[in-house]
Amino acid sequence: MSAQDQAVTQADLLAYADGKLTPDARARVEAWLASHPAEAAEITHFERQNDALQALFAPIGNEPIPARLQPAAIARTQAANDGFRWRQMAAAIVLVALGGAIGWAGRDIVTPTEAASDVLIDSAVTAHSLYVRENRHAVEVAATDRDHLVSWLSNRVTQPVTPPDLSAEGFALVGGRLLPPSEYAPTSPAAQLMYENAALERVTVYITSALPDGAVHTEFTTREALDAFYWANERITCTVVGDLPEAQMQTVAKKVYQHLTRRPDGSAEPNYPRG
């Protein structure tokens, strides 16, 4: 390749087609094109395109560039758009965080007492099903150590837990145990008292401290083929669980209710749960 070949670059050819070369440079490129017919034909094609574009857009091309299209204005617009997008993102983050905080703070509002009772009933039924089949480990503290049982459970539940006397209903206290609090019901740990009759049928009494609102609520339901009598007041929640004939279950639950809701004056709350 000659020195003249090396002197003509692609940039030179494009500048030639656009008419942007000095006379000397243009003469040099024309001399080069004379010996390179393929490149000369390509440059001729470019020149025709330029002429056509000029003919179509010459009036607009001769107008001054609008202020909004000046480089500085475009840069300012881009910066403003970027700032707006960042503000939108920041606002979205704040709204998500605020929504989460409101949702957490309002969880007790949208989760009423009935929902908490469902959790406690489920916990009582699960515990009953788990331990009622046990023989040697049915309870942690046996009824023979009643004083310790009462003291221990009362301290942990933070309310007096005195086992009801169900002897008239044919049931004797087996003992009791402490169970962890439910993750979804804001109460103390639970005390489970277990009773058994001569036919080796068992019922359990599941007791926790009161829910935060201390509202009175009563309910009778069936879960997993077990009857559950639940109530709550300003001191405790209680669920009696068993698999007895309905009339017998009603009698046992009513006796537990009367015992655990007895007031200092000896009266009992009238809101006994009914099916």
pLDDT digits (tens, 9 = 90+) for 32-66: 988 888 888 888 877 777 766 666 655 555 666 66
Place of tokens 């910066």: 79
Is residue 148 within 8 Å of residue 177, measured between CB atoms? no
Per-residue pLDDT tens digits for 109-119: 444 555 888 99
Is residue 205 within 8 Å of residue 227, measured between CB atoms? no
**Predicted confidence band at 91 (pLDDT cuts at 50, 70, 90)?**
low
For range 153-158, the mean pLDDT: 95
pLDDT for residue 209: 93
Measured distance CA(13)–CA(39) in Å, rounded = 9
Please give the mean pLDDT across all residues of the chain: 81
Lowest mean per-residue pLDDT among 37-46, 211-220, 245-254 = 37-46
pLDDT for residue 52: 63
Q: Which of 182-186, 214-218, 238-242 has the highest mean pLDDT?
A: 238-242
Per-residue pLDDT tens digits for 95-152: 555 555 555 455 444 445 558 889 999 999 999 999 999 988 999 999 999 999 999 9
pLDDT of residue 70 exceeding 70, the answer is no
| Cα dihedral 163, 169, 173, 178 sign | negative
Report which of residues 222 and 80 the model is more confident about.
Answer: 222
For range 209-225, the mean pLDDT: 90
Measured distance CA(186)–CA(181) in Å, rounded = 8
Q: Which of 70-79, 181-190, 228-237 has the highest mean pLDDT?
A: 228-237
pLDDT of residue 264 exceeding 50, the answer is no
- DSSP string over the chain: --HHHHH--HHHHHHHHTT-S-HHHHHHHHHHHHT-HHHHHHHHHHHHHHHHHHHHHHHHHTSPPPGGGSHHHHHHHHHHHHHHHHHHHHHHHHHHHHHHHHHHHTHHHHS-HHHHHHHHHHHHHHHHHHHTT-STTS-SEEGGGHHHHHHHHHHHHTS-------GGGTEEEEEEEEEPPPTTS----EEEEEEEETT--EEEEEEEEPPTT---EEEEEEETTEEEEEEE-SSEEEEEEE-S-HHHHHHHHHHHHHHHT--TTS---S-----
For 4, residues 6+ apart whose C-beta sits below 8 A from its C-beta are 28, 31, 32
In one-letter notation, the amino acid at residue 215 is A
Q: What's the pTM?
A: 0.58
Is residue 237 within 8 Å of residue 207, measured between CB atoms? yes
Crossing angle, helix 37-61 and helix 23-34, to 10 degrees? 140
pLDDT for residue 210: 92
Smallest Cα–Cα separation from 226: which of 125, 99, 75? Answer: 125
pLDDT for residue 275: 46
Residue positions counted in the chain: 275
Lowest mean per-residue pLDDT among 21-30, 66-75, 134-143 = 66-75
| CATH architecture of the domain formed by 112-260 | 2-Layer Sandwich (3.30)
Report which of residues 189 and 65 the model is more confident about.
Answer: 189
> Taking the domains of the chain in order of start, what are their residue ranges?
3-61, 67-105, 112-260
Lowest mean per-residue pLDDT among 16-30, 54-68, 207-221 = 54-68
Whole-angstrom distance between the N-terminal and C-terminal Cα of the chain? 106
Is residue 268 within 8 Å of residue 258, measured between CB atoms? yes
Measured distance CA(172)–CA(139) in Å, rounded = 14
